[in-house]
Structure 1
Amino acid sequence: MSIVTMNFESEYLNNNHEISIILPNKPREVPAKDYYGSGKKYPVLWLLHGTLGDHTDWIRKTNIELYACEKDLIVVMPSALNSNYSNWNGSNHSNYYGSKSGFGMYDYLTEELMPLIYNWFPASSKREDNFIAGLSMGGRGTIKFAASHPDKFAAAAVLSAAPVNYSLLTEEELRQDDIQSRRLRGMVENAGGLDAFIQSEENAWRVMDSLAGSGKLPRLLFACGTGDTMIYDNLKLFKAHAEEIGIEAEFWTLDGYGHEWRFWDLAIQHALAFFGLKDTGASPY
């Protein structure tokens, strides 16, 4: 495979930004001129990391390069800091260059990174050739993008994450002093208050409810280890809700796994099969 590490100045992130891209492997028996000049477009997986991670996580901790090679698949892995794949525009004063500080990680993916990849690399922009997946925080990002931009993805794989019904969130819960409440407080303040947060794309549960039965949602996979004490109970709640209102999804679990890379390496293999990506016979060597 070819792995590209790209550093560029991002309009939406107001900073230099680094991404990793896995590109398909040239078969050894095909002349370079013929292969690179073919004009062929390849399917794309937008692969999101979790909290405290970056664009290198999936490459360093799973065999995603091998799996992508077998599928003739482009994999795009951005860095998202601990942004929750959200827009953080709380600092609205103009900086030295006259632009607003803060950064728009939610808008960045669809409005900047996708146009870059489609136009600078041999990547197909067709909905049927685009897939999104992520783990933990990246799973929450995957839910948001799949629900709010269903026209851009054929399927989505949410690994070790689950929609939460933020419409039930109360001010009293936000005042608690645990890590989750503190994180939610920051998200709510960033959205402009609890009501604005509930009506925003952050409340993917609400967005998905509005699309239930419409046929507009991408095909959905939710994957979680049964030993994942952070996520598994929430996933069971959402599964029951999805069945009740007619959201079609596959729920895939494995006993004995928690919130861990050993599970995510297995889950991404299942996700690629769920997407319908078949082995092409391409050599990984």
Structure 2
Amino acid sequence: MALMDITYYSKIMDLDLSVQLLYPDAARVEEPDSKDIPVLYLLHGMGGKDTTWLRLTALERLVRKTNLIVVMPDTHNGWYTNTRYGYPYFDVIAKELPHTLKRFFPNMSSKREKTFIAGLSMGGYGAFKLALSTNRFSHAASLSGVLSFKGMDLGNADMGSPAYWQGIFGDIKEWESPDNPHALTNMVAQSDKKTKFYAWCGQEDFLYEANNYAVAELKKAGLQLEYKVDHGRHEWYYWDKELEKVLAWLPIDFKLEERLS
């Protein structure tokens, strides 16, 4: 794979943003001159950035022989949301970045059936939100995603200050209302329900109960969702292992190479 470190000017953010991109190596993949290469947007969690997936998983080795573009944007701790403090992170990923990258990489597919999104923790929420809101992605996956805030104390200092959460989502009390299974469930009715969804969470993860609750609500709303659980905590050791399963789940010719030659 060719690894590209890209800095581009975001007009809607009025600042430079970073994105890491893996591009298929013509010497190792079939159809290296394809004009329609599938693309996976891979989203980081809180405290992460565009390089995190590369630094902490075997991603580059896993896709080394697969004809797939992997896009890893840096969105800070903005929750893939048009924040109340004025930075439209959702619009960056949903609208601006795909058009920007298509100019740089004209062989990158624009077809929905070849466009995928996945993420962990905050990025799992972002993957589901973007897939439900845009109808751009055919497959969306969440690893230990924050698919619900049920049971989480957002007033806890370890979770960030109330001012931070209000800056992202607005009124925290409204966001946490037990009468509202949060934004994702409400988005299901507005989607065309053509996207396939996948979620995984470890049974020892502090988000396990929230994932169980969110998955039940999303399925009740009519979402096509495959849910897997296993032993695991909120740690990269488990996300690294589950990443391979996500890649195998995608409708691509995933050629796993167990050893580097």
Once residues 68 and 40 of structure 2 are traced to their aligned partners in structure 1, the CA distance between those partners, rounded to angstroms, is 7
Identity of aligned residues (%): 29
Is the CA contact 1:70–1:280 (under 8 Å) kept in the aligned structure 2?
yes
- My pick for the range that moved more, 9-18 or 121-130, is 9-18
1:174-216 Cα distance to aligned partner (Å, 9 max, x none): 7x45444735x54445555469869xxx7122212x25xx752
Provide the secondary structure at the position in 1 that maps to 2:242.
helix
Higher helix share: 1
Q: 1:12 to 1:234 in 2, by over 3 A?
A: same
Partner residue, 2:21: 21
1:119-198 mapped onto 2 (5 Å cutoff)? 119-121=103-105, 122-149=107-134, 151-164=135-148, 176-180=155-159, 182-183=161-162, 186-189=164-167, 193=171
1:12-56 Cα distance to aligned partner (Å, 9 max, x none): 2221111100000112699xxx95xx4522100000011111111
What's the RMSD between the two structures over aligned residues?
3.2
Q: Name the count of aligned residue pairs.
A: 255
1:76-115 mapped onto 2 (5 Å cutoff)? 76-88=71-83, 90=85, 102-115=86-99
Task: Confirm or deny that 1:220 pairs with 2:197.
Answer: yes
Once residues 121 and 144 of structure 2 are traced to their aligned partners in structure 1, the CA distance between those partners, rounded to angstroms, is 5
Partner residue, 1:253: 229
Deviation at 1:263, TM superposition (A): 0.9
Letter in 2 for 1:204: L
1:133-167 Cα distance to aligned partner (Å, 9 max, x none): 00111111112101111x2000000111142278x
Once residues 17 and 222 of structure 2 are traced to their aligned partners in structure 1, the CA distance between those partners, rounded to angstroms, is 40
Once residues 70 and 64 of structure 2 are traced to their aligned partners in structure 1, the CA distance between those partners, rounded to angstroms, is 10
Once residues 279 and 29 of structure 1 are traced to their aligned partners in structure 2, the CA distance between those partners, rounded to angstroms, is 10
Q: Which runs of 5+ in 1 are unaligned?
A: 91-101
Q: 1:39 to 1:237 in 2, by over 3 A?
A: closer
Q: 1:40 to 1:243 in 2, by over 3 A?
A: closer
Q: TM-score, normalised by structure 2?
A: 0.84
Q: 1:7 to 1:197 in 2, by over 3 A?
A: same
Once residues 254 and 123 of structure 2 are traced to their aligned partners in structure 1, the CA distance between those partners, rounded to angstroms, is 25
Q: 1:67 to 1:186 in 2, by over 3 A?
A: same
